[in-house]
Structure 1
Amino acid sequence: MTDAPHILIVDDDAKIRQMLTRYLTDEGFQVSAAANGEAMRECLAKARIDLVLLDLVLPGEDGFQLAKDVRARPSTVRTGIIMLTGRSDMVDMVVGLEVGADDYIAKPFHLREVLARIRSVLRRTQPSLSAEPGPMVRQEAGEVIRFDGWRLDLGRRELKAPDGSDIALTTGEFELLATFARHPGRVLNRDQLMDLTRGRHWEAVDRSIDAQVARLRRKIEPDPKHPMLVKSVRGVGYVFTGHIQ
């Protein structure tokens, strides 16, 4: 059991915590549960967490803020985040992407759907936990892409800046950059990017891709408002213009 993925459930509804804990434990996962942000942080400090099931509406701090907290920790930058919510507003979905969520499940949900989403996100965020790679993770060990002084290690899932510093990327950001770097000079529309990165685990919401691109630009572009690596093609999509070495 110690080698099983560790899932943290953050929800203020005790019945939902108990239901998910029982179900996921029976499916072979390690499971911890927290009712609020303070308890979540205690769990993150004590153990390695591979994925957080995070309720959006919580007392005090909401799920958006807690997702930011997860992403701000160096030890959890690759931890998967699936947001649970009773709201179906598409704006919430896009905001969830902007703060680093990997997937989004509306309540009420089926337990089998939750299990499928968890396994899908784990394949992308923790490839070592699964023999089956996700839609984007098809790289061979040791494969590295270099462009304009940057070094993208696909096997280690690491990005180094031209000055040698490590750049922390979320799973979505990493997959997006890897997709761009593997298709230099090719204009990719939003549908193609969704297929190549997430396998359409998200609904077809164009703005979700735009949010991911904006976040990626803030990390790799000297001036995100005037990008030189990932450029917009008006009315079509995006093109990677970095020089592959």
Structure 2
Amino acid sequence: MNTATQPHVLIVEDEIAQREVLSYNLEAEGFRTSKAEDGEQALLLVEEEKPDVIVLDWMLPNVSGIEVCRQLKTRPEMRDVPIIMLSARSEEVDKVRGLETGADDYVVKPYSVSELMARVRTQLRRVRPSTVGQVLTYEDIILDSETHRVKRDKHSLKLGPTEFRLLSTFMEKPGRVWSREQLLDRVWGRDIYVDTRTVDVHIGRLRKVLTQNGGSDPLRTVRGAGYALG
């Protein structure tokens, strides 16, 4: 799988054995992982690359998981990133505190790895549906991420892999304006140098395919900002 399209999970866990077990199991299921052993390192890592999901231990040295969660959720660019809180605290009051701080899910230790994987997929399905085999629809466009097929008004469309990833990104969040730099990170990946003009070229190709059977152009150019679907 192209690393740019692999869902990225940040694991924040000070116990090395648990950190490695989580990383191994997530990567075996096709996720890309990064790891932090304390809260300070986690806050630095999210500045370098915004993850799709964060698995965050409550009891961390230096900066606690609760404080990391609170700080992240005050950042506008991080509010839509799901945080799954891990904790040995099983009391209802602790769970409520974790959720009220901004956590999207709360898992009590000891937990089964398979249950945690399912919870990660559930959160990911909410924010990046195309990465977990979902069928996305927008007006008369249907995109099946599992079979890599796209239809518009019952016509099958042949898209190259880059155009497919572009359309997936747009269809995950219709109406959202994506800058060229954001599209480069999401579609091509951070580790690959591509000129921003390349985005324009592939947007042009995508538009050509989407309108080849007479349909209107669903992509919108937002001057000075980027592109949006609808």
Q: Normalised by the shorter chain, which TM-score bucket?
A: 0.5 to 0.7
TM-score, scaled to structure 1: 0.53
Q: What percentage of aligned pairs have identical amino acids?
A: 37
1:156 Cα shift? 4.2
The gaps in structure 1 that reach 5 residues or longer are 143-153, 159-245
What residue number does 1:44 align with? 46
What residue number does 1:17 align with? 19
What residue number does 1:4 align with? 6
What residue number does 2:111 align with? 109
CA distance 1:130–1:56, shift in 2 (3 Å): same
What residue number does 2:37 align with? 35
Structure number with greater Rg is: 2
1:22 Cα shift? 1.1
CA distance in 2, matches of 1:53, 1:17: 10
Matched residue count? 142
SS of match in other structure, 1:49:
coil
Q: Is the 8 A contact 2:40 2:63 kept in 1?
A: no
SS of match in other structure, 1:16:
helix
1:61 Cα shift? 2.0
1:77 Cα shift? 1.5
CA distance in 2, matches of 1:76, 1:156: 19
1:7 Cα shift? 0.3
Aligned partner letter, 1:111: V
SS of match in other structure, 1:105:
strand
The gaps in structure 2 that reach 5 residues or longer are 140-171, 177-230
What residue number does 2:95 align with? 93
Aligned partner letter, 1:103: D
What residue number does 2:79 align with? 77
What residue number does 2:162 align with? none
1:128 Cα shift? 4.0
Find the partner of 1:56 among 55, 58, 67: 58
Q: Is the 8 A contact 1:49 1:76 kept in 2?
A: no
Deviations 1:136-177 (CA, angstroms, capped at 9, x unpaired): xx9x648xxxxxxxxxxx95487xxxxxxxxxxxxxxxxxxx
RMSD value, Cα: 2.2
Aligned partner letter, 1:130: V
CA distance 1:156–1:62, shift in 2 (3 Å): farther
CA distance in 1, matches of 2:68, 2:116: 20
Aligned partner letter, 1:104: Y
Mapping 1:1-245, distance limit 5 Å: 1-2=2-3, 3-132=5-134, 141=138, 156=174
CA distance in 1, matches of 2:108, 2:128: 24
CA distance in 1, matches of 2:68, 2:128: 21
Q: Is the 8 A contact 1:6 1:31 kept in 2?
A: yes
Q: Which aligned runs of 4 or more in structure 1 are off by greater than 4 angstroms?
A: 154-158
What residue number does 1:175 align with? none
1:129 Cα shift? 3.0
Q: Which moved more, 1:119-128 or 1:11-20?
A: 119-128
CA distance 1:157–1:94, shift in 2 (3 Å): farther
CA distance in 1, matches of 2:19, 2:56: 11
What residue number does 1:203 align with? none
1:79 Cα shift? 0.8
